[in-house]
Amino acid sequence: MANAQISKKTPEQRAAHQTKALQKQLSLSQDQATKVHTALFTAATRLDSLKNNPSADKKAYQLSAKSIKLEAKKQVIAVLNDSQKQKFATLEKMRKEKHKQKQAQRVPEQG
75, 45, 50: which is closest to 64 by C-alpha? 50
**Which pLDDT tens digit goes with each residue over 13-50?**
999 999 999 999 999 999 999 999 999 999 999 999 98
Stretch among 1-5, 32-36, 81-85 having the lowest mean pLDDT: 1-5
Beta strands in the chain (DSSP E): none
Q: What is d(CA 76, CA 7) in angstroms, rounded to the nearest whole number?
A: 22
Q: How many CB atoms lie within 10 A of CB 104?
A: 8
Q: At what angle do helices 11-26 and 82-106 cross, to 10 degrees?
A: 120
